[in-house]
Amino acid sequence: GADPRGVERLWDQMYTSGLFYGRRGLFPMALSAVDNALWDIAGKYSGKPVHAMLGGEARARIPIYQTGGDIAAGKRAGVRNFKVGLPIAPETPAAETQAAIDHVLAAREALGPDGNLMTDSVSRRGTVDWAVGVAERLRPARLYWMEELLSPDDVFGYAELVQRIGGGGPGWTKVACGEHEYTEHGFEVLVRVGSAEVLQPDITWCGGLTAARRIAKLVEDAGLELVPHRGGSSWGLPIALTAPSCTMAESFAAGSPILDAMTPAIENGDCLAPTEPGFGTALTEEMVLEHRLRSG
């Protein structure tokens, strides 16, 4: 019976009452879903898009970075920033490792000298020495950041990595992580330890938009960079548009039809601020029926 418009107060109540079920993983993910739904309700009730409810000055547009897909096609569409996979680990055979490195170098060649290129190793649980070695081999690619080279639990390893390859040391690439961290409490550890230069909360995992706002303030106060995971989605874009420390919004080259229907407009490589209330999306009965799971 609570008023759904009191979103942040409700978040505090839900977190306090549920944290014994786990401060990471399924509980904050479920909390994210409820929190984001409440923000959507509040926006639709007020007739405002969510980003206009967060306070401060909101951008009208923000550059995207394209994850996956064809770089040449992305460039033709005006995209200037790209991220490619680097799916290797210490145990990866040498030939596969070399092929992955060659793929990144080829991506830089396709992109040209301008524009940002990033890699994502998706928490391959590498060691610090191994990660430094990979980064050395990729110096010619002039990477803007290298993402998730280590386990998300290795916060001290990430801090050492920042000192050895990032701005804390030689500074030839930034260290990015945080996609698998939760709430401002988890991100405060990353910030205090110095585990990253680019922090990447996922608004659908970290505790929702309420948690993401608090994380964004932590990142801004520390003078670091915020680039939310899936920041170009309808639910991630409000933070990307309003956080001063956010520089780009992630967009995927190819999504499912239902995700494409809920993705904000992109124009000449920029994600545009929606004008519709809430997150700017509406789940219709037709959409549900079209994408329902069928047995047999």
Tell me which amino acid residue 55 is: G
Q: What DSSP character marks residue 118?
A: E
Contact status, residue 228 vs residue 202, Cβ threshold 8 Å: yes
Measured CA to CA, the distance from residue 293 to residue 31 in angstroms comes to: 24
Measured CA to CA, the distance from residue 46 to residue 252 in angstroms comes to: 30
Contact status, residue 74 vs residue 63, Cβ threshold 8 Å: no
With H, G, I as helix, E, B as strand and everything else as coil, classify residue 81.
strand
Give the residue numbers marked as catalytic: 229
**Please, which contacts does 86-91 make with residues 24 or more away whose CB atoms are closer than 8 Å?**
86/119, 86/120, 86/121, 86/134, 86/146, 87/121, 87/122, 87/124, 88/121, 88/124, 88/134, 89/121, 89/124, 89/125, 89/126, 89/130, 90/126, 90/127, 90/130
**Which of 161, 155, 156 is CA-nearest to residue 178?**
155
| Those residues with Cβ within 8 angstroms of residue 27's Cβ, 6 or more apart along the chain or in another chain | 18, 19, 21
Q: Which two tokens stand for residue 232?
A: 């170009």
